[in-house]
């Protein structure tokens, strides 16, 4: 796996949601996929989407999953350089994702197993990042980057909710992003404007 | 709004939170429901039930001085604290406190690698340093030392060592607590101590010699609640010239007796340097009716089992380990091992992977069994990927320890198989890992769920396993926070004299009972009447 390759879209950092959608992604208004989020969690986590997502977009995909080629091609067609891995995302986390989370903002989109998403959600939350969208992918459909980029009008998904795969499902496409207002043990302090 | 800990008034709690905020700054005190929820035990066997343990708040200090100030506030208000390093050991309770209402002291911000000595093969780290952090530091700086990582590798060195976790490389490194050398601790009084040679401020051997002078106290800070450890030294393994991973299989059930006896001997002689895994692929998992019948019987004969193995065309046992060192030495070790095992009829030997170091990034990523080379990975989570797998939301580890004798492994598999079957459950994995060269830990994962009915069954199963195995002489070496009182009951020699000593120490060291009340069933005087 090439470690250290460029992953930013043309133009580097993106400042707001409209930039985040650059690359031809549809600006569709979609209700978020709610995955067994309890009512308390859903209320507690409700945020407007466009204030959450900014910064560069990193795209990762698990090469072993059916449909991963299509997901990567969709990302490439949108001007990104997706990073592939084989089942274990640890190296990508150490060398690409975590160093970038240290200097937020950052958004990450991916097509992975539910297990990888579970790991990333737990790891990323210490940097004030969280899952904003999860789409369970069935083998009958082609996973794509663009549906992840649609506007989110409702609550974000709750953390730590498991995604169990049923027969016919190939993986999960998802979007994780830092929330500049979110405080977390390893997040940049909100009082330091120079890092926001 | 956060709920105060039991026994602390709301006004005192709010005052304490304000003082904690003054200590760490507004950004590093977490008291909203949304923030505190992140410290929930995602694998809790009590998910959503009244007894589930929750934090009341969390605080993330950045220095020893801030920890001392936090401890002072806690003493003033009787505030229970629950320090965590990274809090990712989900199968033993994660970041949720042992005592509900505790304030989590999240030490992830203290993540400095203070020193790495390539010459002495040691490091000194803060509590928030993860295996990922140290591995990356060594590779980035081309330091020819290895870490020994837990698996999965997303946790922290200190947390895992203090919980007495294990890894996979050489004997001096894979018993993570045994591999530490020197610690710094904030006592519940706020006083700062250094252990071993570190008590001499001029000593140049803090990370080289464990004991210092006088009683060696490091052990009381593991699986306990006698202080907040703020620095630990560790011994690191020198990168070898090469490694050879091997696997042997034997065909019959009783073959595990000479197999384990020989492996045990070779490990004690340092011929086999690594963690050795012995498992039964035939007995683990699967839904073959004959397999389920044999396992449910709790005592099928060797003949019955061997007939099943022959019918399946599969070996009964499989063992995996790895040699590290110079190629010529490895070749001699492997030849000697084969000579020693050659008497087992039908044994098969395989060389499964060979490495020459250093590995490139691409080579490291391609290693299938990363932990055996000290490479942290998240591969173990692959078990959550299985299509069609029951949606268990997590698991807790049941970890009985046995002597590395084949008869013991067979007897344990008979007992646990029957316990599972009697509860209508599929019997577990059969095998064990030799983190320690003179014992074997026979882990298996007990699933947890997000519904009370299934979790109640899980708790009944877990308690039955703990009690039944302890009765046979196989107590656990480590246990999930919810079951620590049960676990300590299994160590009740002389009417619980050891437990009484633990609590005597607690009263002396932490008279206000502020650090991790109830951890490993060590309760402060003021909470003994209401222990969970």
Write out pLDDT tens, residues B135-153: 999 999 999 999 999 999 9
Tell whether the model's pLDDT for residue A1 goes beyond 90. no
Q: How far is B288 from chain A (nearest CA, A)?
A: 21
Q: Contact, A177 vs A130, CB < 8 A? A: yes
| DSSP secondary structure letter of residue B102 | P
Spatial separation of the C-alpha atoms in residues B6 and B10, rounded to whole Å:
10
Q: What is the pLDDT of residue A161?
A: 52
Q: How confident is the model at residue B328 (pLDDT cuts 50, 70, 90)?
A: very high
Q: What is the mean pLDDT of residues A63-68?
A: 90
Exposure b/e, B361-379, CB count within 10 A at least 16 = b: eeebbebebbbbbbbbbbb
SS3 letters for chain A?
CCCCCCCCCCCCCCCCHHHHCCCCCCCCEECCCCCCCCHHHHHHHCCCHHHCCCCCEEEEEECCCCCHHHHHHHHHHCCCCCEEECCCCHHHHHHHHHHHHCCCCCEEEEEECHHHHHHHHHHHHCCCEEEEEEEEEECCCCCCCHHHHCEECCCCCCCCCCCCCCCCEEEEEEEEEECCCCCCCCCCCCCCHHHC
CATH H-level, domain B482-530: superfamily: Vanillyl-alcohol Oxidase; Chain A, domain 4 (1.10.45.10)
Q: Which of B161, B95, B155 minimizes the C-alpha distance to B128?
A: B155
- Whether chain B has a CB inside 8 Å of the CB on A162: the answer is yes
What residues are paired with B84 via a beta bridge?
B106
Which residues does chain A have within 8 Å of residue B362's beta carbon, measured at their own beta carbons?
1-3
Phi then psi for residue B262, to 5 deg, are: -70, -45
- Residue A2 in this model has a pLDDT that exceeds 70: no
Mean pLDDT of A84-105: 93
Measured between beta carbons, the chain B residues lying within 8 angstroms of A122 are: 42, 88, 154
Q: What is the pLDDT of residue B285?
A: 67
Task: Dump pLDDT digits (tens) for B298-320.
Answer: 889 999 999 999 999 999 999 99
Å between A14 CA and nearest CA of chain B: 25
Beta strands B237-238 and B145-146, pairing class:
antiparallel
pLDDT at A17 exceeding the cut of 50:
no
Burial class (CB in 10 A: 0-12, 13-18, 19+), A4: exposed
**Across A147-167, average pLDDT:** 54
- In terms of CA atoms, which chain A residue is nearest residue B391? A164
Inter-chain residue contact B106 with A118, CB threshold 8 Å: no
B38, B135, B450 ranked by CB distance to A94: nearest: B135
What's the mean pLDDT in B379-398? 66
Cα radius of gyration (chain B):
24
pLDDT, average across residues A49-73: 81
For B481-502, letters b (16+ CB in 10 Å) and e give bbbbbbbbbbbeeeeeeebeeb
Report helix, strand or coil for B74: helix
Residue A79 has pLDDT above 60, yes or no: yes
Per CATH, which fold does B113-238 belong to? 3.30.465
Condensed to tens digits (0 to 9), the pLDDT of residues A166-176 reads 556 678 899 99
Q: What is the rounded CA–CA span in Å between residue A109 and residue B219?
A: 45
> Average pLDDT, stretch B227-251?
98
What pLDDT, on the 0 to 100 scale, is given for residue A30?
23
| Chain B stretch 31-50, residues whose beta carbon is closer than 8 A to a beta carbon of chain A | 32-35, 37-38, 40, 42
From chain A, pick out residues whose CB is under 8 angstroms from the CB of B132: 90, 93-94, 98
The per-residue pLDDT for A54 is: 62
Give me the residues of B, 240-279, that contact A with CB < 8 A: none
The hierarchical CATH code for the domain B242-357+400-475 is 3.40.462.10
Mean pLDDT, to the nearest integer, of A26-36? 23
Nearest to A123 among B154, B382, B388 (CB): B154
Residue B306 structure tokens: 């061997």
Among residues A174, A196, A179, which one has the least CA distance to residue A59? A174
CATH for B10-106 (3.30.365.10, 3.90.950.20, 3.40.630.10, 3.30.43.10): 3.30.43.10
**Residues A175, A121: contact at Cβ < 8 Å?**
no
A113-132 confidence digits (pLDDT tens): 888 998 999 999 999 888 88
pLDDT reported for residue B109: 96
Mean pLDDT of A153-179: 64
pLDDT bucket at A4, cuts 50 / 70 / 90: very low
What is the arithmetic mean of pLDDT over B372-389? Answer: 74
- What's the average model confidence in pLDDT over B222-238? 98
pLDDT digits (tens, 9 = 90+) for B460-479: 999 999 999 999 999 999 99
* Cβ A177 vs Cβ A102: under 8 Å: no
Query: How far is it, in rounded angstroms, from Cα A9 to Cα A79?
Result: 6
* Preferred mutation among B30, B49, B61, B381 to probe A, highest tally of A CBs within 10 A: B381
The predicted structure's pLDDT at residue B54 = 95
- What pLDDT is attached to residue A98? 96
The domain spans of chain B are 10-106, 113-238, 242-357+400-475, 482-530
Query: In this complex, how many residue pairs, one in chain A and one in chain B, have their CB atoms less than 8 Å apart?
Result: 116
Among A118-127, A173-182, B40-49, B74-83, the range scoring the smallest mean pLDDT is A173-182
- pLDDT attached to residue B426: 82
Partners of B390 on chain A (C-beta within 8 Å) are 164
Q: Answer yes or no: B478 catalytic.
A: yes
Looking at residue B2, what is its pLDDT?
67
Q: Is B285 left (phi over 0), alpha (psi -120 to 50) or beta?
A: left
Query: Stretch B55-79: mean pLDDT, rounded?
Result: 98
Radius of gyration of chain A (CA): 15
- Residue tagged active-site, from B194, B295, B372, B478: B478
User: Is some CB atom of chain B closer than 8 A to the CB atom of A20?
Assistant: no
**Which pLDDT band holds residue B26 (cuts at 50, 70, 90)?**
very high
> Quick one: which of B476, B435, B528, B491 has its CA closest to B92?
B476
Q: What is the pLDDT of residue A164?
A: 54
Tell me the pLDDT of chain A averaged across its residues.
66
Residue B221, pLDDT > 90, answer yes
Confidence at B404, pLDDT banded by 50, 70, 90: very high
B378–A94 CB contact, under 8 Å: no
User: Kindly report the CA angle at B481 between B478 and B483, in degrees rounded to 5?
Assistant: 75
Active site residue B92: yes
Please state the separation of Cα A96 from the chain's center in Å.
14
Nearest CB among A86, A89, A185 relative to B106 is that of: A185
pLDDT at residue A151, rounded to an integer:
54
Per the CB < 8 Å rule, is A115 touching B384? yes
**What is the average pLDDT score of chain B?**
94
A45 touching B (Cβ < 8 Å): yes
Nearest-neighbour CA in chain B from A26: distance (Å) = 30
pLDDT reported for residue B392: 55
* Res A40 pLDDT > 70: no
- Res. A29: pLDDT tops 50: no
Q: What is the mean pLDDT of residues B178-182?
A: 98
* pLDDT tens string B423-456: 988 888 789 999 998 999 999 889 998 899 999 9
B131 touches chain A (CB under 8 A): no
Which position among B39, B92, B168, B324 bears the catalytic label? B92
State whether residue B382 sits within 8 Å of chain A by CB: yes
Q: Tell me the range of A99-113, A160-174, B13-27 where mean pLDDT is highest.
A: B13-27
- Section B29-43 average pLDDT: 91
B420 catalytically annotated: no
């Amino acid at each position: 796996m090439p470690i250290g390759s460029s992953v930013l879209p043309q133009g580097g950092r993106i400042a707001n949601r409209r930039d985040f959608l650059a690359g031809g992604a549809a600006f569709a208004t979609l209700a978020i996929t709610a995955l067994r989020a309890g009512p308390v969690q859903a209320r507690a986590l409700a945020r407007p989407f466009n204030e959450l997502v900014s910064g560069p977009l990193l795209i990762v995909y698990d090469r072993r999953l059916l449909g991963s080629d299509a997901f990567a091609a969709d990302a490439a067609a949108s001007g990104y350089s997706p990073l592939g891995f084989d089942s274990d995302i640890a190296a990508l986390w150490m060398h690409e994702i975590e160093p970038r989370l240290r200097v937020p903002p950052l958004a990450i989109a991916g097509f992975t197993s539910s297990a990888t998403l579970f790991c990333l959600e737990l790891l990323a939350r210490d940097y004030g990042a969280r899952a904003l969208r999860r789409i369970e992918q069935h083998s009958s459909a082609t996973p794509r980057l663009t549906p992840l980029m649609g506007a989110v009008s409702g609550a974000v998904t709750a953390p730590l909710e498991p995604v169990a795969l049923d027969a016919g499902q190939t993986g999960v496409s998802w979007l994780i992003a830092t929330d500049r207002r979110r405080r977390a043990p390893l997040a940049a302090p909100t009082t330091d404007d120079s890092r926001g | 709004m956060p709920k105060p800990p039991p026994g602390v008034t709301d006004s005192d709690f709010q005052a304490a939170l304000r003082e904690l905020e003054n200590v760490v700054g507004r950004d590093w005190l977490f008291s909203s429901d949304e923030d505190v929820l992140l410290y929930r035990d995602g694998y809790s066997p009590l998910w959503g039930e009244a007894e589930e343990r929750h934090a009341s708040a969390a605080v993330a200090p950045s220095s020893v001085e801030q920890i001392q100030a936090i401890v002072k506030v806690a003493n003033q208000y009787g505030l229970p604290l629950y320090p965590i390093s990274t809090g990712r050991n989900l199968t033993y309770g994660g970041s949720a406190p042992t005592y509900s209402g505790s304030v989590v002291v999240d030490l992830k911000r203290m993540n400095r690698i203070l020193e790495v000595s390539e010459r002495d093969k040691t490091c000194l780290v803060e509590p928030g340093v993860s295996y990922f952090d140290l591995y990356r530091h060594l590779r980035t700086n081309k330091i020819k030392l290895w870490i020994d990582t837990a698996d999965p590798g997303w946790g922290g060195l200190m947390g895992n060592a203090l919980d007495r976790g294990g890894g996979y490389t050489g004997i001096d490194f894979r018993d993570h607590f045994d591999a530490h050398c020197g610690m710094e601790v904030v006592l519940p009084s706020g006083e700062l101590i250094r252990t071993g040679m570190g008590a001499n401020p001029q000593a140049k051997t803090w990370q080289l010699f464990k004991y210092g002078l006088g009683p060696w106290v490091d052990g009381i800070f593991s699986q306990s609640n006698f202080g907040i450890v703020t620095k630990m030294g560790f011994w690191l393994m020198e990168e070898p010239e090469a490694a050879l991973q091997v696997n042997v299989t034997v065909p019959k059930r009783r073959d595990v007796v000479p197999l384990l006896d020989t492996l045990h001997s070779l490990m004690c002689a340092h011929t086999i340097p690594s963690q050795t895994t012995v498992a039964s692929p035939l007995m683990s998992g699967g839904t073959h009716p004959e397999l389920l019948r044999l396992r449910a019987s709790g005592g099928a004969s060797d003949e019955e089992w061997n007939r099943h193995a022959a019918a399946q065309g599969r070996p009964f046992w499989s063992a995996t380990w790895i040699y590290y060192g110079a190629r010529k030495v490895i070749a001699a070790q492997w030849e000697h091992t084969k000579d020693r095992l050659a008497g087992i009829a039908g044994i098969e030997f395989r060389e499964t992977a060979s490495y020459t170091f250093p590995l490139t990034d691409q080579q490291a990523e391609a290693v299938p069994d990363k932990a055996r080379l000290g490479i942290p990975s998240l591969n173990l989570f692959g078990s959550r990927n299985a299509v069609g797998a029951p949606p268990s939301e997590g698991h807790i580890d049941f970890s009985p320890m046995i002597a590395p004798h084949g008869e013991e492994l067979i007897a344990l598999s008979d007992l646990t198989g029957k316990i599972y079957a009697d509860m209508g459950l599929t019997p577990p994995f059969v095998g064990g890992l030799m983190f320690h060269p003179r014992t074997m830990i026979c882990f298996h994962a007990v699933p947890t769920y997000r519904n009370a009915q299934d979790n109640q069954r899980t708790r009944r199963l877990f308690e039955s396993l703990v009690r039944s195995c302890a009765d046979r002489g196989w107590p656990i070496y480590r246990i999930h926070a919810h079951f620590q009182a049960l676990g300590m009951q299994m160590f009740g020699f002389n009417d619980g004299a050891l437990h009484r000593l633990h609590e005597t120490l607690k009263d002396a060291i932490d008279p206000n009972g502020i650090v991790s009340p109830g951890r490993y069933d060590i309760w402060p005087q003021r909470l003994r009447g209401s222990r969970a």
